[in-house]
Amino acid sequence: MNVLKFIILSIAVTVLVFACKAKETEIIKAPAKEKEQVQAKAPSYGAMADNIEKGKALFNDTIFGNGTAGKSCNSCHLGGKGLEMAGEKKEFNIMGKKQNSLEEAVNFCIKMALKGTAIDPNGKDMMNIVAYIKSLQSK
Ligand code: HEC
């Protein structure tokens, strides 16, 4: 009879210990998950800063938009000069032609000034060059 009691007690204790362990690991895991989420969000801030730097690189690149004129945006807009207001404008007048967005203005200069081909207005390069141009506002 004592042996049976011992076995039942052992089982009960084992179950209890496992139940506690399971809870413990849950508790330990929870904060780690939160951390992951925070870390997953962090790169988006990095990407923002990155965009401006990449945009600046494109701005100084003579083959941006497959340009064939040997000029970069910087050749005419030295250091972004003259584009400080472009980030806020809704309408542009470039060389007598009306452009209805900053993206159109950029592509117009790529085609007419760099003698290249228009880039995807929704693409990564456009996002980067626009980020750079908008960063000029504060200068
Ligand atoms: C050959 C010279 C030349 C080059 C190279 C050039 N642009 Fe322009 N850009 C102009 C001229 C001229 C204007 C119209 C006058 C002005 O606003 O400065 C203009 C206007 C603009 C505007 C509108 C500014 C405003 O506030 O109305 C933007 C934006 C712009 N350029 C972006 C670019 C980008 C991006 C590049 C490179 C892909 C580039 N430009 C290359 C000559 C050039």
How far, in Å, from the CA of 44 to the mean position of ligand 1? Answer: 29
Residue 50: its pLDDT value, please? Answer: 74
- Tell the residue nearest (CA) to atom 37 of ligand 1: 73
- Tell the residue nearest (CA) to atom 22 of ligand 1: 105
Beta-carbon contacts of residue 117 (< 8 Å; ≥ 6 apart):
65, 66, 110, 111
Instruction: Tell me, using a 6 A CB cutoff, whether residue 114 lines ligand 1.
Output: yes
- Tell the residue nearest (CA) to atom 8 of ligand 1: 109
Say if residues 136 and 84 touch (Cβ distance below 8 Å).
Answer: yes
Backbone phi, psi, residue 89, to 5°:
-75, 150
Task: Quote the pTM value.
Answer: 0.73
Round to whole Å and give the CA distance between 24 and 130: 50
How far, in Å, from the CA of 77 to the mean position of ligand 1? Answer: 7
How far, in Å, from the CA of 116 to the mean position of ligand 1? Answer: 14
Q: Which atom of ligand 1 is nearest to the CA of 92?
A: 27
Say if residues 107 and 118 touch (Cβ distance below 8 Å).
Answer: yes
If one residue of 52, 68, 76 were mutated to test the ligand 1 pocket, choosing by the most ligand atoms within 8 A of its CB, it would be 76
Residue 43: its pLDDT value, please? Answer: 47
Residue 5: its pLDDT value, please? Answer: 74
From first to last of its 139 residues, the chain has per-residue pLDDT tens of 577 676 666 666 555 555 545 555 555 555 555 555 544 444 455 556 679 999 999 999 999 999 999 999 999 999 999 999 999 999 999 999 999 999 999 999 999 999 999 999 999 999 999 999 999 997 6
Backbone phi, psi, residue 136, to 5°:
-75, -20
Burial category of 41 from C-beta neighbours within 10 Å (exposed 0-12, middle 13-18, buried 19 and up) = exposed
Residue 138: its pLDDT value, please? Answer: 72
Measured in residues, the chain has a length of 139
